[in-house]
Structure 1
Amino acid sequence: MMASQSTMDKLHDMRLSVMARAYRDQEELPAASGLSFDERLAMIVDAEWDSRRTNKRLRHLRQAGFPEQDANIADVRYDDDRKLDRAQMAELSNCSWIASRRNIIVTGASGAGKTWISNALGVAACNAFYTVRYTRLPELLDELTVFKDEEWLKQRKKYIKCDLLIIDDWLLEQVKPNEAREIMEVIEARDRTGSLILCSQFPPSAWHANLGNGAIADAVIDRVVYKSYTIHIAGEESMRKRMRGME
């Protein structure tokens, strides 16, 4: 069984390089000569399929912009004082909540590990082939409270079109009226298109004032909270101190 150079060239021209390599590699498999045409074709197609899925997952991870790229749900610390629910974390790691367009609210003191847990859930989403974007609320507002040109529209789509948007440092202080309107527009759009993870030092009961009270605050909170899971990280000791204790 000899790989046809003409077929190899055509596969490369169609950017099916992994399939071409698998086709060529079958020459070096003694058992391949005993396989049927369908079996050999399946092996070649599987190689291309697996490669593309791996590349897609890595592309999602790269585009997400995680500050904690190595975060993994399997590495969550369940110290007694943190009061994290192991069963809840395991359930959320399967990402079915994204398929249902539900949200997650992660609360806790500064240094509790909110960003890390949100990134671990985001990595799990990328591994399940969902598109994810991570940002901090101040950065999102800096991008969206500017002159509304084509670049503004491009940035807005980035936050709306992804399957999961993670917003860190959520409502740590009162926002301006124009910022509250941009927040409402993003939340309103995402209510129809995807899921959110919001990381905040404050519970939802404290968000109303920081959104300026009124109708905009009502609209944002209603769209986020009613279909959200809540993860509260308790404990007085920061994750940095906990990790130093392991050195």
Structure 2
Amino acid sequence: MANEATMDKLYQMRMSVMARAYREQEESIGVAEMPFDDRLAMLVDAEWDARRANKRTRLLRQAAFCDPDANVCDVRYDPDRALDRAKVMELSNCTWVDAARNLIITGASGAGKSWMACALGVAACNAFKTVRYVRLPELLDTLCIAKGETWAKMRKRYIACDLLIVDDWLLETISPSQTREVLEIVEARHRKGSLILCSQFAPSGWRAKLGDNAMADAVVDRLVFNSHVMHIEGTESMRKRMSGII
């Protein structure tokens, strides 16, 4: 039977899955005749798979997606949306995140920008990358109102992740102090982490909403440089498409 001292050590090292797999091996017919290396590999695989699954679950929870069930396999390629299937599949591989490139998703209200961003964010979590989702108004409230330890902690959260998704990007003009906070986040992430920006407006209209000054130029230059752009066409709401309403 499984050595109880070994079992206790496995549980103390928080290797409970391996401990259970060890017990199951001892209770399974024919396993005792297997080579030691094969039995060890089975134990390690069980622990490895469980930890990967737990990590993925933790990453998805921490990302705080507005639509955690979004999946690139469910993208609607209706003709009027003018979406490039090959491009979407390429983005879902997350090589652009590895290269610290950005993605700008534009389209009318209800076009499905947020859903698409979440679907690609979920793909990044599946690739074991850290992701954060936030609406720009919430991000600005956090950074411009909260100060001290809370401010520093939240700022680090937006900077340190592999992929930051900012929804409702520049729906309205922001103040100089808000533009400064945006610049600090963008500058800290430049060439080090990726961004997905969801906006109803093309980048050509961002400068005016950022104050049309040197800070605005710096923000737009860093965001647009070497970025992918996805424009979702169509006038019918994504919510209507997904509900099956004709």
Q: Same fold (TM over 0.5)?
A: yes
2:101–2:191 contact (8 Å) kept in structure 1: no
Q: What's the CA shift string for 1:133-175, capped at 9, x where partnerless?
A: 0000000000000253011000000100000000000011100
* Paired position in structure 2 for 1:20: 19
Secondary structure of the corresponding residue to residue 145 of structure 1 = helix
Q: What's the CA shift string for 1:26-71, capped at 9, x where partnerless?
A: 0222231221111111110110011000000000000000010100
1:67 paired with 2:77, answer no
CA distance in 2 between counterparts of 1:160 and 1:198 reads 15
Alignment of 1:172-187 (within 5 A): 172-187=171-186
* Paired position in structure 2 for 1:110: 109
1:113–1:239 contact (8 Å) kept in structure 2: yes
* Paired position in structure 2 for 1:214: 213
* Paired position in structure 2 for 1:223: 222
Q: Which runs of 5+ in 1 are unaligned?
A: none
Secondary structure of the corresponding residue to residue 133 of structure 1 = strand
1:160–1:193 contact (8 Å) kept in structure 2: no
Alignment of 1:34-45 (within 5 A): 34-45=33-44
TM-score (norm 2): 0.98
Alignment of 1:1-247 (within 5 A): 2-245=1-244
Identical-residue share of aligned pairs (%): 65
- Output the aligned Cα RMSD: 1.1
TM-score (norm 1): 0.97
- Match for 1:227: what amino acid? N
Query: Relative to structure 1, is the Cα distance of residues 183 and 47 closer, same or farther in structure 2, using a 3 angstrom cutoff?
Result: same
Query: Relative to structure 1, is the Cα distance of residues 147 and 50 closer, same or farther in structure 2, using a 3 angstrom cutoff?
Result: closer
Q: What's the CA shift string for 1:76-100, capped at 9, x where partnerless?
A: 0000000000010010000010000
1:134–1:167 contact (8 Å) kept in structure 2: yes
CA distance in 2 between counterparts of 1:228 and 1:28 reads 56
CA distance in 2 between counterparts of 1:78 and 1:31 reads 51
Q: Which runs of 5+ in 2 are unaligned?
A: none
CA distance in 1 between counterparts of 2:240 and 2:122 reads 24
1:173–1:210 contact (8 Å) kept in structure 2: yes
1:57–1:129 contact (8 Å) kept in structure 2: yes
Q: What is the Cα deviation at residue 243 of structure 1? A: 2.4
Q: What is the Cα deviation at residue 244 of structure 1? A: 3.2
CA distance in 1 between counterparts of 2:238 and 2:38 reads 52
